[in-house]
Chain A
Amino acid sequence: MRVAFVGKGGSGKSAIAGTFARALARRGEPVLTIDSDPMPGLAFSLGLEVVEDAVLDDAVVERQEGEEGPRFRLRPGLTVAEAIEQYAAVGPDGVRFLQFGKLRGHVASLFRSQLAFREITHGLPPNGRWNVVGDLPGGTRQPFAGWGDYAHTFIIVVEPSAKSLLAARRLAKLASGDRGPKVVGVANKVSDAGDTDLVRERSGLEVIASIPWDEALAEAERNAKAPIDYAPESPAVRAVELLVARLIEEG
């Protein structure tokens, strides 16, 4: 499966994506996780030591004068599969992790790494071996600029709050357009059934999971620990495991 988590900033995308990826990997599936946030946080939620550098710089070469095509492309001889093997960090449960780079100073310093990253995510073979779990930055800009186009399903993480719902309604429009990926909602930080109903009604989305407000998760975040390591029995982690099971069943 290939999913990308989107939603308003702070809605819980990274915590859910990291837990989702680990739970999927524990079922024996090969999992590639992708963090395209210039202020990345997925590594924490996966339980990886923080990946320090934008390592992708040397994966691309710049177009020479007179050549056609995009300004940067993968180094000749380097396939997408090899690039993943070489550049994606190895995390717990065998999860692989590709990070687009950390913002240091001006955004232009990330340019080369970003384009290498995009070459890899856009070049993923349609029926390749990897399950893909992506974590996009909060808001609408990256999703609508095609940075999550590797995903077959966009999962919008929605808190029961007016601002989160507003972002969700805008993100729901990802379903329109030519490629028309599947777009579903996950209600997060839910206190009661009324919250889930609120998310369903006010986002207009099919809500496929309801993740409870869980102090253990907040504590994991405080301590920079992966929720699945810190609180494996917690209700929120259990709910994410159910979400994984549901998506596997649906194929």
Chain B
Amino acid sequence: MKLAVVGKGGSGKTTTAAVIARTLARRGMSVVALDCDTNPNLGISLGVGDEETERLIAMRQALDEGQEEHTPTWDQLVDRFGSDAPDGVRLAVVTRIENPEPG
């Protein structure tokens, strides 16, 4: 299955997405959690911690600044810009932040 969680700021999207991801993983499914938020903090709710969450953000920014090379395939993207969260969930920060449009 492929789910996207959306809603107003502060409504609980990140918390909901994280609990769904961990719950599916505990049922034995292989789960990739994609953080597409311009303020990515899914890592905190998944339980990878502050530092690792900030590391993933920094890496995503390095890509925009040309200090990292983009990956040619989806698997490599999840590998390079991702991190292992509890219950075997794989987290990747894939925010599109180069778009200067507001909102």
Q: Which residues of A contact B (CB under 8 A)?
A: 8-11, 36-39, 100, 103, 107, 114, 137-142, 145, 147, 162-163, 166-167, 169-170
- Pair A11/B54 contact, Cβ less than 8 Å: no
Query: Closest CB of chain A to B94's CB: distance in Å?
Result: 15
Tell me, in angstroms, the Cα distance from A249 to B36 when the chains sit together: 42
Tell me, in angstroms, the Cα distance from A8 to B101 when the chains sit together: 18
- A141-B38, A163-B14, A170-B39 known; A9 vs B50 contact (CB < 8 Å): no
Of chain A, the residue at the smallest CB distance from B102 is A142
B14 contact set on A, CB distance < 8 A: 163
What are 14 A-B contacts defined by CB distance under 8 Å? A8-B10, A8-B41, A10-B10, A39-B8, A103-B103, A114-B102, A137-B102, A140-B38, A140-B39, A141-B97, A141-B102, A166-B39, A166-B54, A167-B41
Q: Which residues of B contact A (CB under 8 A)?
A: 8-11, 14, 37-39, 41, 44-45, 50, 53-54, 57, 97, 100-103
- Pair A107/B11 contact, Cβ less than 8 Å: no
Of chain B, the residue at the smallest CB distance from A13 is B9
A142 contact set on B, CB distance < 8 A: 102-103
Q: Which 3 A-B pairs have CB atoms at the shortest separation, nearest pair first?
A: A10-B10, A9-B9, A138-B9
Tell me, in angstroms, the Cα distance from A163 to B54 when the chains sit together: 11
Q: Which of A100, A147, A166, A167 has the most CB of B within 10 A?
A: A166
- Pair A8/B100 contact, Cβ less than 8 Å: no
- A9-B8, A10-B10 known; A107 vs B41 contact (CB < 8 Å): no
Tell me, in angstroms, the Cα distance from A142 to B9 when the chains sit together: 14
Contact of B39 among A103, A107, A147, A167 (CB under 8 A): A167
Q: Which of B10, B45, B97, B103 has the most CB of A within 10 A?
A: B103
- A9-B9, A163-B14 known; A138 vs B39 contact (CB < 8 Å): yes
- Pair B44/A166 contact, Cβ less than 8 Å: yes
B11 contact set on A, CB distance < 8 A: 9-10
Contact of B103 among A38, A140, A163, A169 (CB under 8 A): A38
B8 contact set on A, CB distance < 8 A: 9-10, 39
Query: Closest CB of chain B to A134's CB: distance in Å?
Result: 13
Tell me, in angstroms, the Cα distance from A167 to B44 when the chains sit together: 12
- Pair A38/B10 contact, Cβ less than 8 Å: no
B53 contact set on A, CB distance < 8 A: 166
- A10-B10, A140-B39, A141-B38 known; A38 vs B45 contact (CB < 8 Å): no
Q: Taking A39-B9, A103-B103, A139-B39 as given, write out 20 further A-B residue pairs in contact, using a Cβ cutoff of 8 Å, ordered by the A residue number.
A: A10-B8, A10-B9, A10-B10, A36-B102, A37-B103, A39-B8, A137-B9, A138-B9, A138-B39, A139-B9, A139-B38, A141-B38, A147-B102, A162-B41, A162-B44, A162-B50, A163-B44, A166-B50, A167-B39, A169-B54
